[in-house]
């Protein structure tokens, strides 16, 4: 039986890009372009009329930009949205990250410069994003977290950090920025552990994501730096393009960054981080696997639990993509399966139990 083609609306203010993207969509598998739109206003009209399964949405457009259009789509007629952004634009990067926090599934760089040079790369990224859109759980998309200015008062006290004796290691991919924006700002300033995160994302976005989370959180959040001592009550995000591992022992462990071969097709990958914290911290580790495609983090979580650490896996209902949590559950099991809203309180309570030496 032939697989039904998913219908796609292509939105871009450039007629050339609309044509190019439409051709790439239709060459990517069981996808059919049902229409195109030149800006956000027209996009909303077309979505209401054509009811496409998936929308590709340009970020920077006249009248109604991609971020504004996305917010209306998610409020009125939620469906998988893949953002398209031009390379090298700081504003575009900021808007793309905000779009991922507000429910966009994934983003793809538009072809730039001599189109033939990077067209094949963009085509593969778009194909992966469209395949993720077919697997997307729309039930996992809820009202976005308010901006940092709403979450925090103007003055935020931050406890002076000491060398970490406990670690929380988090793996995230597709849907991760949105989940992290729920979890990290909800962690307390006296957590008593270092938090290390791998989010599958290019370098310019991991830096921006760390900055965004830092403004939203009572804990300090930043990109990890090679050789730095791991300190409690700090959150370290692996930079795009580098694997992050932890070397040493509790109370004297440091961050290592390297550009060794990709794992599961990505760098950073969560498994190298999880392997390293299992070896260095043993029973003083809490491993967390969040939404994402693939199986990164599954074997790592198994090793954490074998070493005596705890495991939390995001549940199917709140995961944008259930691939990574499902693989982790199958490989490692879990101490708790939790909604994205419940993960921060669980981390807090588990950190307190580890500090008291409570097992089981």
Q: Mind listing the pLDDT tens digit for each residue in 101-138?
A: 888 999 888 876 555 556 777 888 899 999 999 888 87
Task: For residue 152, name the pLDDT band (cuts at 50, 70, 90).
Answer: very low
Q: Are residues 34 and 81 in the same domain?
A: yes
Q: Are residues 209 and 292 in the same domain?
A: yes
Q: Mind listing the pLDDT tens digit for each residue in 291-313?
A: 999 999 999 999 999 999 999 99
323-344 CB burial, b ≥16 within 10 A, e <16: bbbbbbbebbebbbebbbebbb
Res. 202: pLDDT tops 90: no
- Backbone phi, then psi, for 147, in 5-degree steps? -60, 165
pTM for the structure as a whole: 0.85
Q: Are residues 189 and 318 in the same domain?
A: yes
Euclidean distance between CA atoms 158 and 73, whole angstroms: 37
Q: Cα angle vertex 272, ends 360, 182, to 5°? A: 65
Q: Mind listing the pLDDT tens digit for each residue in 166-175?
A: 999 999 999 9
- Tokens (6 digits) for 263: 């794992």
Task: Give the active site residues.
Answer: 173, 200, 296
CATH number, domain of 87, equals: 3.40.50.2300
DSSP state of 284: G
Q: From 9, 22, 4, select the one nearest 49 (Cα to Cα).
A: 9
Range of the domain at 121: 6-136
Cβ-contact 180, 197 below 8 angstroms: yes
CATH number, domain of 261, equals: 3.40.50.180
The confidence score (pLDDT) of residue 122 equals 85
Task: For residue 156, name the pLDDT band (cuts at 50, 70, 90).
Answer: very low
Q: Are residues 332 and 241 in the same domain?
A: yes
Q: Are residues 110 and 251 in the same domain?
A: no
């Amino acid at each position: 039986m032939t697989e039904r083609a998913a219908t796609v609306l292509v939105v871009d203010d450039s007629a050339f890009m609309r044509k190019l993207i439409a051709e790439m969509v239709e060459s990517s598998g069981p996808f059919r372009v049902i229409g195109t739109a030149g800006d956000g206003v027209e996009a909303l009209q077309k979505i209401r009329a054509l009811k496409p399964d998936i929308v590709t949405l340009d970020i920077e457009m006249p009248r109604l930009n991609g971020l504004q259009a996305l917010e209306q789509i998610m409020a009125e007629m939620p469906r998988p949205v893949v953002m398209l952004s031009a390379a090298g634009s700081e504003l575009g990067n900021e808007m793309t990250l905000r779009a991922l926090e507000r429910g966009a599934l994934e983003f793809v760089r538009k072809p730039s410069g001599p189109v033939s040079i990077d067209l094949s790369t963009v085509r593969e990224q778009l194909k992966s994003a469209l395949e993720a859109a077919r697997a997307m759980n729309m039930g996992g998309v809820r009202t976005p977290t308010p901006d940092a200015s709403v979450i925090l008062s103007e003055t935020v006290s931050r406890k002076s950090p000491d060398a970490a004796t406990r670690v929380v290691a988090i793996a995230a991919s597709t849907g991760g920025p949105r989940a992290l924006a729920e979890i990290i700002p909800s962690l307390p300033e006296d957590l008593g552990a270092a938090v290390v995160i791998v989010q599958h994302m290019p370098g310019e976005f991991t830096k921006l994501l760390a900055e965004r989370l830092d403004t939203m959180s009572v804990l300090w959040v930043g990109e990890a730096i090679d050789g730095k001592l791991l300190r409690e009550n700090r959150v370290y995000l692996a930079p795009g393009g580098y694997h992050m591992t932890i070397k040493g022992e509790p109370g004297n462990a440091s961050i290592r960054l390297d550009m060794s071969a990709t794992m599961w097709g990505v760098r950073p990958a969560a498994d190298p981080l999880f392997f390293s914290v299992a070896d260095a911290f043993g029973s003083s580790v809490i491993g967390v696997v969040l939404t994402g495609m693939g199986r990164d983090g599954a074997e790592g979580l198994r090793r954490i639990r074998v070493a005596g650490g705890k495991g939390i896996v995001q549940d199917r209902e709140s995961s944008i993509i259930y691939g990574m949590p499902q693989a982790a559950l199958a490989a490692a099991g879990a101490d708790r399966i939790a909604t994205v809203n419940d993960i921060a309180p669980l981390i807090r309570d588990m950190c307190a139990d580890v500090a008291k030496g409570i097992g089981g």
